Structure 1
Amino acid sequence: MSDTTMSEQKIRLDNLEQALDAVHAVARAVLVPRDLPVLYRTIYQVLATVIPYDAGYIEIFDQARDSMQTVFAIDEGSETFSTDNWNYHSSELISWMVAQRQSLLFGDLHADMRTRFPTAKPRPFGNEEKRSRAWLSVPLLLGEHMIGIFNIQSYQTGIYGPFEQTLLEALANPVAVALENARLLSELEHAVSGLKIPLIPLTDNILIVPLVGVLDQLRWERLTEAVLETISAQGCEEVLLDGSGIVSFDIHTVQALTTLVQA
């Protein structure tokens, strides 16, 4: 085996090791409870360690409205967050991906696109004065269920190939799981936020407050107000807080409990 061949194999192994590290890093990142903007930013920060890109975006598929939301876009470090829906049927590329559940790779978007999609026009975002060249999008799927689209772009031509596509598809799986979990958690929080927390008088002087579900800032404010009103109305001297039913017990929950006790 020549020195050149050994050197090439070492480079491939190093690239593979970096790729595996990136997949594991994204998988770890999406398991940690965090707000979505931080999650999006973390995904692209990890991605930058193994795949060069100048721009990219994450689309979320809204099945009920049959539309897309570009929830995160980055262009040369400038980030944009949005919850606006847009008609993806106006984009031939995105429509094809939704229908086929397959990735799209262009070595030079504006040159190669004419061959596969003669009438298509890229949807602009970020710095519209620059033309994207290398372009790679993979579907975010849970089974056959479309979650959204994961995209990276470069102003250079030909820098993405089968290796980058395979890596981005591997990263797409934990990203899809994280986004779906975030959606389900948001629905749960919305449903639970409408529930009243019962205040149970144990005796004339003791009040029991069972804390259940996800307690966001609004529910904590309502709870504090209700407890203080009940104490004032009934003359309770002791309040017992039962936190065994709290879904998420983090630093924010501790701070809210401290505020309630001090009130």
Structure 2
Amino acid sequence: MPRTINRRVQLGVELQHQRNLLRQQRALDRRVLETIYTISLACRARPSLEEIFSIIYRELTKLFDFDACFLALCDETTTDRFSAALLVDEGYLEFAPNSFYGPITGEIVRKREPRLFRDLVAERTDRPASETMFGNVEKRSRSWLGVPLMVGTDAVGVISLQSYRVGVYDERVLDLLQRIANVIGVALENVSLIDKQRQLSQALSAQVVARTEELDALSQIASLMVLRRPLAEVFDRALQVILGLFRLDGGNVRLLNAERDQLVLM
């Protein structure tokens, strides 16, 4: 009889343990869905790259334990550079455009494979420690986790989490980061495209304004010539039009004297 009671107690403890694990997993899944929803919703507001980086960082703090974080978008025109990156070290955020690949992040992007180090100092003996450090250079990252940001079959960026403590990350944490990495990749790619479209639109608008001003200046100068005004007056008024077009404070008109091979002030 005591054995039966003990067995029942043991089964009850195991069942409660399984219930607790299931409850924890459900809570984690809910936070993951909330993170994905928040990031997706933020993209609809057409944020800048710096803004979406900051939003993603804040969401990551709700899911992961880390001291430092590196989030970057690849420059599609090169093979060794990020077009934009966010570096976070113990709560300090730094936005860094045009930064080069690091030894591990570059490897992740090129191979399109994640990397996990339970103790970076002990496992990464083939590289100087300085090559894998940023932020507080007096501390060494010990636990290190990084995954590529994939859009289809292309790696468009990378995200890495780092801790100054050993053994913080394992395969379970790696799987969790990979679950949301693709959503982050799509979000950054979309915001990047919107940003490029915005820059292109601004550049085209500036060109249209410039061409309009140039045509207006040519029209004014042409009208002066039609009026058959004295040459000195035409030159003076044309000069004023040109100075206004190029935003200059002063200038003069000179004619070439072919016989003397010199310019003569009008």
Q: 1:31 to 1:106 in 2, by over 3 A?
A: farther
Residue 149 of structure 2 is matched in structure 1 by: 140
Provide the secondary structure at the position in 2 that maps to 1:167.
Answer: helix
* Unaligned stretches of 5+ residues in structure 2: 1-11, 221-266
Which residue identity does 1:192 align to in structure 2?
Answer: S
1:13 corresponds to 2:26: yes
| Range that drifts further, 31-40 or 133-142 | 31-40
Structure 2 residue aligned with 1:183: 192
Question: Pairwise mapping of residues 73-222 of structure 1 onto structure 2 (< 5 A)?
Answer: 73-86=87-100, 88=101, 91-114=102-125, 118-119=126-127, 121=129, 122-196=131-205
1:14 is displaced (CA, Å) by: 2.2
Q: What is the rounded CA distance, in whole Å, between the counterparts of 2:176 and 2:96 in structure 1?
A: 26
Match of 2:38 in 1: 25
Higher helix share: 2
State TM-score, norm by structure 2. Answer: 0.65
Where does 1:60-75 land on structure 2 (aligned, <5 Å)? 60-69=73-82, 71-75=85-89
**Residues of 2 paired with 1:181 and 1:4: CA distance?**
42
Give the letter for the 2:187 counterpart: A
Structure 1: 5+ residue stretches without partners: 197-217, 234-263
Query: 1:137: how far off?
Result: 0.8
**Residues matched between the structures, number:** 200
- TM superposition shift of 1:181: 1.9
Whether the 8 Å CA contact 1:134–1:156 is kept in 2: the answer is yes
Per-residue CA deviation, residues 66-113 of structure 1 (Å, 9 max, x unaligned), is 222352111111111111332x3xx44233212320111111211222
1:152 positional shift: 1.2
**Residue equivalent to 1:259:** none
8 Å Cα contact 1:141/1:148 also seen in 2: yes
**Pair 81,7 (structure 1): closer, same or farther in 2 beyond 3 Å:** same
Read off the aligned partner of 2:202 and give its amino acid letter.
S
Q: What's the secondary structure of 1:125's corresponding residue?
A: coil
Deviation at 1:120, TM superposition (A): 6.1
Q: Given the superposition, is the C-alpha separation of residues 36 and 123 from structure 1 closer, same or farther in structure 2, using an over 3 Å criterion?
A: same
Does structure 2 conserve the Cα–Cα contact (< 8 Å) formed by 1:102 and 1:139?
yes
Tell me the CA shift for residue 119 of structure 1: 3.8
One-letter amino acid of the counterpart of residue 59, structure 2: V
Contact 1:109 1:133 in 2 (8 A): yes
Query: What CA distance in whole angstroms lies between the structure 2 residues aligned with 1:190 and 1:37?
Result: 15
Structure 1 residue 38: deviation in Å?
1.4
- Aligned pairs for 1:207-246 (under 5 A) are none
Residue 207 of structure 1 corresponds to none
Q: Deviations over 1:17-57 (max 9, x none)?
A: 22332232223223331122111111011111111111111
Please provide the CA RMSD for this pair: 2.8
User: What is the aligned counterpart of 1:54 among 67, 77, 80?
Assistant: 67
Determine if contact 2:145/2:174 at 8 Å carries over to the other structure. yes
Q: Is the 8 A contact 2:71 2:87 kept in 1?
A: yes
